[in-house]
Amino acid sequence: MLETRNLSKSFGAIQVTRNVSLKLERGERRVILGPNGAGKTTLFNLLVGELTPDAGSVHLAGEDVTALPVAKRARRGLSRSYQKNTLFDGLTVEQNLGLAAALYTGHATRLWSDSLAKPEVREIVAEVAEQVNLMPHLHARVSEVSYGVRRQLEVGVALATRPLVLLMDEPTSGVGPEMSKGFHDLLNNLPRDLTLLIIEHDMDLAFDVADTITVLNYGEVVFDGLPEEARGSKLLKEIYLGSWEDA
């Protein structure tokens, strides 16, 4: 469903992505681990098209999308859940989902209340709100909801574009341990045919959610395999020093 072949990227003299080849099957949930500066965010930027690789290619659903800009990749089903300023604080949770759905379905009109009334838009909003547990918060203004609910809504906004592949950059960062567990459940309950690629520092999440784990170190894939293999890996213990033991 999503594949990279020998992807490389340098900033000046520093090579941040080194020959990265990944292959995610449809419905696979892959977590990307790696220490600070390992090149995880850069890899995401290359995948979504915010950065152009120096070498290598990106393939989505069997097609080479390396030359396509961000918006075109998004239309083909590659969606990214952002942690930053993608929500409209003055609008309700429902309206935020509705706007994303309206843009996706081509129902966005100048009068947004008209867009939200379209049956196709309403259907997506209801489906997504259920998927990310936002039903109790639909009529709350975003400025009034908790941090955890905002994070759920960010995932919801991404899902409202009905993606094939969803990329998430540390979806539980800043969420306390209690809510973090709820978030893991939420991710585990997403539709099984949705392909997920998640950058994560939290190894509990990696082991709770991942079908497979990729570890980057200095821009290079140093591990690609099953979570239980990752747990036993001496190399990963060295990379993570003591923190691996806590997982």
Ligand X SMILES: Nc1ncnc2c1ncn2[C@@H]1O[C@H](COP(=O)(O)OP(=O)(O)OP(=O)(O)O)[C@@H](O)[C@H]1O
Which residues would be at the binding site for ligand X (CB under 6 A)? 11, 16, 34, 36-42
Min CB(39)–ligand X separation in Å = 4
Our CB check for ligand X shows the closer of 41 and 133 to be 41
Amino acid of residue 200 = E
- CB within 8 Å of 129: residues ≥ 6 apart: 93, 94, 97, 135, 138, 156
Q: Which is nearer to ligand X, 37 or 182 (CB)?
A: 37
Min CB(59)–ligand X separation in Å: 21
Cα torsion 71, 74, 79, 81 to 10°: value is 20
Burial class (CB in 10 A: 0-12, 13-18, 19+), 115: buried
**Helix/strand/coil percentages in the chain, nearest 5:** 40, 25, 35
Q: How far is the CB of 82 from ligand X (least distance, A)?
A: 14
Numbers of helices and strands, H then E, in the chain: 11, 10
Paired strand residues for 166:
79, 196
Between 12 and 242, CB nearer to ligand X: 12
The residue (of 45 and 152) whose beta carbon lies closer to ligand X is 45
Instruction: Name the minimum Å distance from CB 214 to ligand X.
Output: 12
In the complex, what is the shortest distance from the CB of residue 11 to ligand X, in angstroms, rounded to a whole number?
A: 3
Question: Which C-beta is closer to ligand X: that of 36 or that of 113?
Answer: 36
Spatial contact of 224 and 208, defined as CB atoms under 8 Å apart: no
